[in-house]
Amino acid sequence: MKSAEKIKWAAKEALIRLKYMTVSSCIFCKIANGKQKVKHIIKSGSVIAFDDINPVAKVHILIVPKKHIESVSTLESKNAHDLIEMFKTAAKIAESKKLEAFRLTFNGGKFQHVPHLHMHLLAGSKIDWSKL
Ligand code: 5GP
Ligand code: ZN
C-alpha cells in the first residue's frame, strides 16, 4: 500500500472508531436504550425526557432525541423531525405540569457537557440574566 493510501485508510478507520466510541459510551444513548436508569422518564415518539441529575431550577427536565445527534452545531436538515418532536414534548410536559412559565435552553460549545443534543426545560425559579 502506498503511503497516501495508508494515511487515507488510517483516517477512515479513526473516524469509524471515533463514531462508535461516541455512540457506545454516550450517557444519553445509554438512557435512551434503557441501559442506564433515570427518574421519571417520558417516552414520546423519537424523543425521551427525564429529570436532570443536577437540577438548576425547581423543574429541570432534559428532552433528548433517541438518535445520537452530537449538538446544535452538527444539526442537519434530516434532523428537523427530531427537533419538532423535542419542542412538542416540551409543550406537552409544560401543559401536564401546569407550568405558567418555562424556558427552553440549548447549550453549545464549551457550555455543552454531554455531547448528545438535548434541550433543558427550566421552570419554577428566576434566572438572573446578568450572570449569564
Ligand atoms: P449540558 O451542560 O451538556 O447542556 O447539560 C448536560 C446536563 O446533563 C447537565 O445538566 C447534567 O446535570 C445532566 N446529566 C449528566 N449526566 C446525567 C445523567 O447520568 N443522568 C441525568 N439524569 N442527567 C445527567
Ligand atoms: Zn448519544
CA distance 51 to 63: 9
71 within ligand 1 shell (Cβ under 6 A) = no
Of the pLDDT bands very low, low, confident and very high (cuts 50, 70, 90), residue 8 is: confident
In the chain, % helix, strand, coil (3-state, to 5) comes to 45, 15, 40
Does residue 27's CB lie within 6 angstroms of at least one atom of ligand 1? yes
Q: Which of 36, 39, 64, 114 to mutate to test the pocket of ligand 1 (most atoms within 8 A of CB)?
A: 114
pLDDT in tens, 107-123: 999 999 999 999 999 99
DSSP lists the bridge partners of residue 48 as 43, 64
- Amino acid, res. 19: K
- What pLDDT is stored for residue 4 in this prediction? 85
Which pLDDT does position 40 carry in this prediction? 86
In this prediction, residue 67 carries a pLDDT of: 95
Quote the longest CA-to-CA distance of the chain.
Answer: 65
Task: Please write the tens of the pLDDT for every residue from 28-75.
Answer: 999 999 999 998 899 999 999 999 999 999 999 999 999 999 999 999
Catalytic residue (one of 81, 116, 118, 120): 118
Say what the pLDDT of residue 2 is.
77
CATH class of 3-131: alpha beta
Ligand nearest to the CA of 116: 2
Q: Is the dihedral of CA 103, 67, 52, 59 positive or negative?
A: positive
60 assigned to active site: no
Question: Would you kindly state where each structural domain of the chain is located, as residue ranges?
Answer: 3-131
Cα dihedral across residues 67, 69, 75, 76: positive or negative: negative
